[in-house]
Amino acid sequence: MTGRIFKIPRQPFLGEMVNSSHDQLVESLCVAVLSGSQQQAKTLERQLRGPEPRRCAPPREPRVRAWFDGACRNNPGGHSSYGVVIKHDGQIIFSAAEYLGQGPHLTNNVAEYAGMIAVLRFLTEQKIQWATIYGDSQLVIKQLQGTRKAKRGKYLPYYHEARGLLARLPQARLKWISRGENTEADRLAGEGLRRWILNLQ
């Protein structure tokens, strides 16, 4: 891979127009979670995971590394965005700074999960199995590692979508880092908010 930055078409997040079988599953999962139908939610999550990927011998060190971050001004309910940067051998292969909007359905945790989902979508669509994903949200990292329960919260549908995507990447590793170590993704998350401000001027 080269250092050229390229973008894949952004798939709609929950609440946006549904136009693919994957997004239909996500929408159904969201409805099941919000309605309290846990059994249906588990069934839909298994469908999101898809078939078990074939395992192969791991490389000595994953050559793809990804960072994500989320921001919510006046949390909860404020203007929200996320930032993502993915590198292969130190060269950027994907980056994103996306504004999510404003409303009672948005929180800092929702923005963090939106960033994680953007990373997972890119990795699955590009068929990249071996990767390390870094984030400064202990809630997101620990919940997806299975060391912290996801009980309630506006982020819950995003948690289920992230779990379904992560299940397709059994070789991916998640690592928590401090905010000071997450400067690139943090800058991009801020860029998403700045774009919203500039559009108002």
What pLDDT score was predicted for residue 40? 75
Kindly report, residue by residue over 155-166, the tens digit of the pLDDT.
Answer: 999 999 999 999
Name which residue leads in pLDDT, 67 or 58. 67
CB distance 74 to 86 below 8 Å? no
- Residue 167 resides in a domain: yes
Q: Which domain holds residue 194?
A: 62-200
User: For the residues 165-189, what does the mean pLDDT come to?
Assistant: 97
31-46: pLDDT as tens digits: 767 777 777 777 767 7
Q: DSSP of 36-54, one letter per residue?
A: T-HHHHHHHHHHHH-SPPP
Q: What is the CATH number of the domain that holds 168?
A: 3.30.420.10
Return the pLDDT at 7: 42
Confidence of residue 1 (pLDDT cuts 50, 70, 90): very low
Indicate if the pLDDT at residue 153 is higher than 50: yes
CA torsion 171→116→122→61, rounded to 10°? Answer: -30
Checking if the pLDDT of 102 tops 60, the result is yes
Residue 172 lies in a domain: yes
Top pLDDT among 141 and 29 is at: 141
Q: Mean per-residue pLDDT for 108-129?
A: 97
How far is residue 135 from each of residues 15, 43, 62, 109, measured CA to CA in Å?
24, 28, 16, 12
Average pLDDT, integer, range 170-184: 97
Residue 168 has pLDDT above 70, yes or no: yes
Characterize 21-47 residue by residue with b for buried, 16 or more Cβ atoms within 10 angstroms of its Cβ, and e for exposed: ebbebbbbbbebbeeeeeeebeebbee
Local structure of residue 170 (DSSP, 8 states): T
Query: Above 90 in pLDDT, residue 85?
Result: yes
| Separation of alpha carbons 16 and 1, rounded Å | 32
pLDDT of the residue at 60: 55
> Looking at residue 2, what is its pLDDT?
32
Mean pLDDT for all residues in the chain: 84
| Main-chain dihedrals φ then ψ at residue 105, nearest 5 degrees | -85, -5
**pTM metric for this prediction:** 0.73
Higher pLDDT residue, 22 or 175?
175
pLDDT computed for residue 61 by the predictor: 54
Q: How many domains does the chain have?
A: 1
Over residues 141-161, the mean pLDDT reads 95
